C-alpha cells in the first residue's frame, strides 16, 4: 500500500445492491475492473442497469475526456471476486454479525497488503475488524447514494486500522473523483448520517403527530434550506444569517432557542401504524412515478447542480470544485487530447455533447461550437508553451478573427473530437484551422478558422512571439507539413449564384 500511487487494476466487490453496484459503476468509469460477488439472482442485471445510468450521467457531468472504462465482471463465488483483487469494498446488508462473518472470510483469502473497506453507514470499525487476522488493513469507506455521482465518502478507521490504510484508501477514493471526509473520532453513524438521522427522526415525529405529510416535509427542504445546503451546509449558511457580525451574533440571537421545547424532540416509536402512514404517504407523493424514473430525475438534477457549482468562483465551489479538480487530474489521460500523431494530426479537444448544449432544433446549438473551438485553441496554446502560466506571466494570444462553418449535426451524448491544423504563423500571428467530427469518424460536423495575435497583455498591445513559443510552433508546423491544406481554408462567407 503506497499512498497516492495506489491504483488497483482489479477491485473486488462483496455485496452488489444499491451501494455495491454504485461502487462498481464508479470503479469501472474510472478505468478499474470491478469484480462483483452477490448471491442474489438479479445482481448482474442490477449492476449493469446502474452502470448504464452512471455512464449516461458521467457523459453529461464531464463533457471533457473520461478515462477509458474498466470491465464489470460478475463472480460466481466470493473466492472468484477476490482472486487477484488489489482492493476490496464490502457492501453487505447492515447486519453486524453478517459483516463480521464475511469480512473474516475475505481477510483469510486475501494477501495482507490488500486494503478492505466497508460501506457501513454507521457500524463501528473497531467491532468489524476485531476478528480479522490483519485488522490494520480494514477501514470504513462510507459513500452516499448514488455512489457514482455524490462525491462524499467518510473514512473512519477502527482502533487497529493503520494510518497507511486510511491514507492509501483516501488517495484511491480521491483519484476516482471523491471528496474524502476523515472521521477523526470513531462514533456510531459517523458524521453525515448523524445529521441525516436527526432530520429523519424529526420528520417521522411530525408525521406521527399529524403535523405534516411526507410531501410537505420534502417541500420544507427542497424549496428552502436544501438549496443552500448543497453548497454551504449549515454552519456557513447560519454565519450569513448572523449578518455582518457572523456566527457570534447568530448564536447570541438564536442560541437561547436551544432551551425551547421544540428543540428537544425525541424519536417516535416505529410502530406498524407509523410505518403504514409513512409508506402510504410516500406512495401518494410519488404519484405512480417509478423508482427508475425518479432515479433518472435525481441524476439529471444532480448533474446539473454539480455542473453549475463547477462554474462558481475561479475554481468552482463545493462539489463543483471537486469535479473541476477531478477533470484537471484526468485531462488528456483518456484520449490523445493535446498530442500530435506521427502524421502530424493534432487532437486538440475531445468530449461529449452535454444535454444543455442542445437547442430547440434538437442538436448542439451554435455558440457551443465556438466554446468547443475556443477550448481547442487553448489546448493548442498549451501545447506550444503558451498555456495558463504563460498568460499569468503577462503574455497571451488573442483571437482577432473567426470563421465557423456548420456542416453536420452533433447530438446529445455524442462523443466529439477536434483536430487542429496550424495553417501559418509569423512573428506575431498564428493561423489555425479546427475540424470537429464525431469521435472515430472523419466527416466534419463543423470547422473553425481563427487568426490569433500575440499580445503583451500588460501593455495592451501586440508583441513579438518569444523564441521558445516560436520554436514550438515551427516544430508543430514541420510535423504537419505533409497534411493536406483543408479545402475550406481561407474561404469567405459567400452566397453562390447560379450562372
Ligand X SMILES: NC(=O)C1=CN([C@@H]2O[C@H](COP(=O)(O)OP(=O)(O)OC[C@H]3O[C@@H](n4cnc5c(N)ncnc54)[C@H](O)[C@@H]3O)[C@@H](O)[C@H]2O)C=CC1
Residue number with the shortest CB distance to ligand X?
17
- C-alpha span between 65 and 104 (Å, rounded): 40
Residue 196: name its binding partner from ligand X, ligand L46V6VHR, none (Cβ under 5 to 8 Å by kind): ligand L46V6VHR
β 138-142/116-118 pair status: parallel
22 annotated as a binding-site residue: no
Classify residue 1 by its DSSP letter: -
The CB-of-7 to ligand L46V6VHR minimum distance in angstroms stands at: 26
Q: How many residues bind ligand X (CB under 6 A)?
A: 23
Nearer to ligand L46V6VHR, 121 or 354 (CB): 121
The CB-of-53 to ligand L46V6VHR minimum distance in angstroms stands at: 16
- Residue that is written with C-alpha cell 453548497 in the block: 231
List the x/- string, 59-98, binding to ligand X by CB under 6 A: --------------------------------xxxx----
15 annotated as a binding-site residue: yes
The CB-of-304 to ligand X minimum distance in angstroms stands at: 22
Residue 15: name its binding partner from ligand L46V6VHR, ligand X, none (Cβ under 5 to 8 Å by kind): ligand X
122 annotated as a binding-site residue: no
Nearer to ligand L46V6VHR, 189 or 444 (CB): 189
Residue 193: name its binding partner from ligand X, ligand L46V6VHR, none (Cβ under 5 to 8 Å by kind): ligand L46V6VHR
CA angle 233, 235, 237 (to 5 degrees): 70
Could you tell me the sign of the dihedral formed by the alpha carbons of 240, 303, 199, 142, in that order? negative
141 touching ligand X, by CB under 6 A = no
Nearer to ligand X, 17 or 387 (CB): 17
296 annotated as a binding-site residue: no
SS3 33: strand
Q: Is 296 exposed, middle or buried (0-12, 13-18, 19+ CB in 10 A)?
A: middle
18 annotated as a binding-site residue: yes
Residue 14: name its binding partner from ligand L46V6VHR, ligand X, none (Cβ under 5 to 8 Å by kind): ligand X
Which one of 6, 18, 391, 479 is in contact with ligand X (CB under 6 A)?
Answer: 18
The CB-of-147 to ligand X minimum distance in angstroms stands at: 8
Region near ligand X per CB under 6 A, out of 32-40, 264-272, 451-459, 465-473: 32-40
322 touching ligand X, by CB under 6 A = no
The CB-of-98 to ligand L46V6VHR minimum distance in angstroms stands at: 16
The CB-of-93 to ligand L46V6VHR minimum distance in angstroms stands at: 11
The CB-of-64 to ligand X minimum distance in angstroms stands at: 28
Nearer to ligand L46V6VHR, 196 or 240 (CB): 196
Residue 37: name its binding partner from ligand L46V6VHR, ligand X, none (Cβ under 5 to 8 Å by kind): ligand X
SS3 181: strand
**Quick one: how far is CA 473 from the chain centroid?**
35
- C-alpha span between 499 and 497 (Å, rounded): 6
DSSP string, 71-94: -EEE-SSHHHHHTT-SEEEE---S
DSSP string, 413-442: T-EEEEEEEEEEE-SSEEEEEEEEEETT--
20 annotated as a binding-site residue: yes
- C-alpha span between 316 and 310 (Å, rounded): 4
Nearer to ligand L46V6VHR, 22 or 70 (CB): 22
- C-alpha span between 233 and 231 (Å, rounded): 6
Could you give the count of Cα atoms lying within 13 Å of 224 in the half-sphere of its Cβ?
A: 8
The CB-of-193 to ligand L46V6VHR minimum distance in angstroms stands at: 5
38 touching ligand X, by CB under 6 A = yes
Nearer to ligand X, 92 or 476 (CB): 92
Quick one: cell of 322? 471537486
Strands (E) across 97-144 are located at 116-118, 138-142
Classify residue 335 by its DSSP letter: S
- C-alpha span between 122 and 338 (Å, rounded): 45
Nearer to ligand L46V6VHR, 217 or 465 (CB): 217
Beta bridge partners of 118: 90, 140
- Residue that is written with C-alpha cell 463465488 in the block: 77
Nearer to ligand L46V6VHR, 120 or 437 (CB): 120
DSSP string, 47-73: HHHHHHHHHHHHHHH--S--PPP--EE
- Other CB atoms within a 10 A radius of the CB of residue 351 amount to 21
Chain positions contacting ligand L46V6VHR, by CB under 6 A: 121, 144-145, 193, 196
* Gyration radius of the chain's alpha carbons: 27
Pair 170, 120: CB distance under 8 Å: no
The CB-of-441 to ligand L46V6VHR minimum distance in angstroms stands at: 40
438 phi/psi in degrees, rounded to 5: -65, 140
The CB-of-88 to ligand X minimum distance in angstroms stands at: 12
- C-alpha span between 470 and 474 (Å, rounded): 6
Nearer to ligand X, 89 or 447 (CB): 89
Which one of 3, 39, 224, 466 is in contact with ligand X (CB under 6 A)?
Answer: 39
- Other CB atoms within a 10 A radius of the CB of residue 180 amount to 19
Give the footprint of ligand X on this chain (CB under 6 A). 14-20, 37-40, 91-94, 102, 119-121, 142-145
* Residues in binding site for NAD(+): 15-20
Amino acid at each position: 500500500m503506497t499512498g497516492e500511487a495506489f491504483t488497483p487494476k482489479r477491485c473486488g466487490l462483496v455485496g452488489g445492491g444499491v451501494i455495491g453496484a454504485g461502487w462498481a459503476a464508479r470503479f469501472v468509469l474510472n478505468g478499474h475492473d470491478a469484480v462483483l460477488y452477490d448471491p442474489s439472482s438479479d445482481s448482474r442485471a442490477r449492476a449493469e442497469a446502474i452502470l448504464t445510468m452512471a455512464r449516461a450521467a458521467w457523459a453529461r457531468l464531464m463533457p471533457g475526456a473520461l478515462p477509458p472504462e474498466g470491465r464489470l465482471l460478475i463472480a460466481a463465488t466470493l473466492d472468484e471476486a477476490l482472486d487477484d483483487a488489489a482492493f476490496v469494498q464490502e457492501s453487505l446488508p447492515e447486519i453486524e454479525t453478517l459483516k463480521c462473518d464475511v469480512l473474516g472470510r475475505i481477510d483469510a483469502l486475501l494477501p495482507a497488503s490488500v486494503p478492505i473497506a466497508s460501506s457501513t453507514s454507521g457500524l463501528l470499525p473497531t467491532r468489524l475488524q476485531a476478528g480479522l487476522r490483519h485488522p490494520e488493513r480494514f477501514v470504513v469507506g462510507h459513500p452516499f447514494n448514488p455512489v457514482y455521482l455524490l462525491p462524499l465518502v467518510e473514512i473512519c478507521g477502527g482502533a487497529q486500522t493503520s494510518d497507511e490504510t486510511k491514507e492509501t484508501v483516501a488517495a484511491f477514493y480521491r483519484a476516482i473523483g471523491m471528496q474524502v471526509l476523515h472521521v477523526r473520532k470513531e462514533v456510531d453513524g459517523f458524521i453525515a448520517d448523524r445529521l441525516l438521522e436527526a432530520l429523519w427522526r424529526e420528520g417521522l415525529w411530525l408525521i406521527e403527530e399529524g403535523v405534516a405529510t411526507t410531501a410537505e416535509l420534502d417541500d420544507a427542504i427542497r424549496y428552502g434550506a436544501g438549496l443552500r445546503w448543497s453548497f454551504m451546509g449549515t454552519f456557513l449558511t447560519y454565519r450569513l444569517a448572523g449578518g455582518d457580525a457572523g456566527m457570534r451574533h447568530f448564536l447570541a440571537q438564536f442560541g437561547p432557542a436551544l432551551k425551547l421545547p421544540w428543540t428537544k424532540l425525541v424519536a417516535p416509536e416505529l410502530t406498524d401504524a407509523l410505518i403504514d402512514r409513512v409508506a402510504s404517504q410516500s406512495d401518494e407523493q410519488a404519484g405512480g412515478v417509478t423508482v427508475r424514473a425518479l432515479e433518472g430525475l435525481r441524476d439529471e438534477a444532480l448533474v446539473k447542480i454539480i455542473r453549475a457549482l463547477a462554474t462558481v468562483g475561479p475554481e468552482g465551489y463545493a462539489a463543483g470544485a471537486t469535479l473541476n479538480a477531478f477533470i484537471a487530474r484526468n485531462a488528456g489521460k483518456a484520449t490523445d487530447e493535446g498530442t500530435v500523431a506521427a502524421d502530424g494530426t493534432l487532437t486538440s479537444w475531445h468530449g461529449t455533447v452535454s444535454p444543455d448544449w442542445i437547442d430547440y432544433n434538437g442538436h448542439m446549438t451554435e455558440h457551443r461550437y465556438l466554446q468547443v473551438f475556443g477550448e481547442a485553441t487553448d489546448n493548442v496554446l498549451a501545447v506550444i508553451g503558451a498555456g495558463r502560466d504563460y498568460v499569468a506571466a503577462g503574455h497571451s494570444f488573442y483571437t482577432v478573427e473567426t470563421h465557423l462553418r456548420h456542416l453536420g449535426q452533433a447530438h446529445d451524448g455524442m462523443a466529439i473530437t477536434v483536430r487542429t491544423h496550424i495553417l501559418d504563423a509569423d512573428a506575431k500571428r498564428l493561423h489555425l484551422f479546427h475540424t470537429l467530427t464525431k469521435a472515430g469518424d472523419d466527416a466534419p460536423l463543423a470547422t473553425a478558422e481563427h487568426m490569433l495575435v500575440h499580445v503583451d497583455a500588460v501593455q495592451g498591445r501586440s508583441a513579438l512571439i518569444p523564441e521558445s513559443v516560436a520554436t514550438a510552433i515551427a516544430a508543430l508546423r514541420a510535423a504537419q507539413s505533409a497534411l493536406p491544406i483543408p479545402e475550406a481554408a481561407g474561404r469567405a462567407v459567400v452566397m453562390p449564384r447560379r450562372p
